[in-house]
Amino acid sequence: MNTPRTPRIAIIGAGPGGLTCARILQRHGITVTVHDREAGPDARNQGGTLDLHEDNGQIALREAGLLDEFFRLSRPEGQEMRRLNPNGTTLFHHMPEEGECFKPEIDRGDLRDLLLNSLQPGTVRWSHTLRSVDGPEAGPRRLSFADGTTVEADLVIGADGAWSRVRRAISPALPEYTGVSFLEGWFHDVETRHPEIAALVGQGGASAADGERGLFAQRNSGDHIRVYIIQRVPADWITANGLTIKDTGAIRAHLLEQYRDWSPALRRLITDNDGLYVDRPINALSVPHTWDHNPTVTLLGDAAHLMPPLGVGVNLAMLDAGELALAVVNSNSVDDAIRAYEKTMLPRSIEMQQALDHGAEDLLSTELPDFATQDAS
């Protein structure tokens, strides 16, 4: 980087976007620190499986020097996809061809470990919950954390997700509820304990919808399956029905009434899960979400363009991360780097936000996607 002084770079958020950005910066000899609110890399389950696309997520991993290792960890068989109607009839069934790697699956935890292990020791500072970003716009910026510590930075990168605190420094926007909610259920040791569900889902995913509600089941590694019960409901639907998230039996009874006309095989996805449900209301940022240029602060991923979960979120976050890192490498100043990055990122994210506006409704649609054949296999 052709600067008189290497900038102090602080990334907030140790998710795939933040870690990808840090990895690429370090590959080019640039020092960076990542701050994350979690107590450590094993503080919580990292969530389900991701499909990393050849035209965005994989581009970032190639720039990070991790693409070959990703392919060793990924599951190309996870590209299998089935669509059923509520009576259990298969409407289409996609089986990946030999060598097909357009969007292989990888567990979120495995991807995060891949990125974390590629960084220099001490890059991530855990238990660092950001409280505020202060200081003059021209820098240096002052980051204040919940533990009372402060850090100065010349470039602050918000990779801290839907409820980003970095976003507050440049935009008043907050996520809004889309009207669609997920209820997540976990299934363990599926080949032994849940063989019917394992057969229904296959090695990838299976979905069904009736216009008002849907189900999406997805194979994870380690003989696990996650199921997402998708409903058009108020965000507080659980409490509004006199329920609590820990009252599994009562929630099941409520859901079985809602899905009473669905096939017994699909209703098992509601009733046979191991453990508690997880409530996941789907939120999104306003469309389009933009902000005035700031010479020392920028955003990537969900912090910049939170959208419904339709297979683009992590891929765009990692593409953002790669482009931002390279802009820092190739620019003469932080200001120039942010301008170069946002010149590409903002139009791309606006286009995708507009394409996916109200996209949460598509999760309930009875229409088959464009790539699907009407012939059941």
Helix orientation angle between 313-330 and 334-356, rounded to the nearest 10 degrees: 160
- Is it true that 9-80+101-175+285-359 and 178-284 share their CATH fold? no
pLDDT at 40: 85
pLDDT at 309: 87
pLDDT at 198: 96
- CATH class of the region 9-80+101-175+285-359: alpha beta
Q: How far apart are CA 257 and CA 267, in angstroms?
A: 10
CA distances from 80 to 94, 213, 283, 372 (A): 5, 22, 27, 12
What is the sign of the dihedral through the CA atoms of 117, 118, 120 and 122? negative
Return averaged pLDDT per consecutive 10 residues of the chain, 377 residues in all: 70 97 98 95 77 94 97 94 95 90 91 97 97 96 97 98 97 96 96 96 95 95 95 96 96 96 96 94 95 98 94 93 98 97 97 88 78 39
If one counts every other C-beta atom within 10 angstroms of the C-beta of residue 308, the result is 21
48 close to 195: Cβ distance less than 8 angstroms: no
pLDDT at 101: 86
Q: How far apart are CA 112 and CA 45, in angstroms?
A: 11
Record the tokens describing residue 237, joined without a space: 């639907």
Within the chain, strands assigned E span 9-12, 33-35, 49-51, 81-84, 90-94, 105-107, 124-125, 130-134, 141-145, 150-153, 155-158, 176-187, 205-209, 213-220, 224-232, 278-284, 297-299
Strand partners, 152: 142
Helix orientation angle between 248-258 and 264-271, rounded to the nearest 10 degrees: 150
Show me where the domains of the chain are located.
Answer: 9-80+101-175+285-359, 178-284
Q: Dihedral (C-alpha) 350, 353, 355, 360: value to the nearest 10 degrees?
A: 180
pLDDT at 367: 83
Q: How far apart are CA 168 and CA 170, in angstroms?
A: 5
Q: What is the DSSP letter of 30?
A: -
pLDDT at 5: 65
pLDDT at 99: 83
CATH, domain range 178-284: 3.30.9.30
Longest dimension (CA), the chain: 68
Strand partners, 50: 106
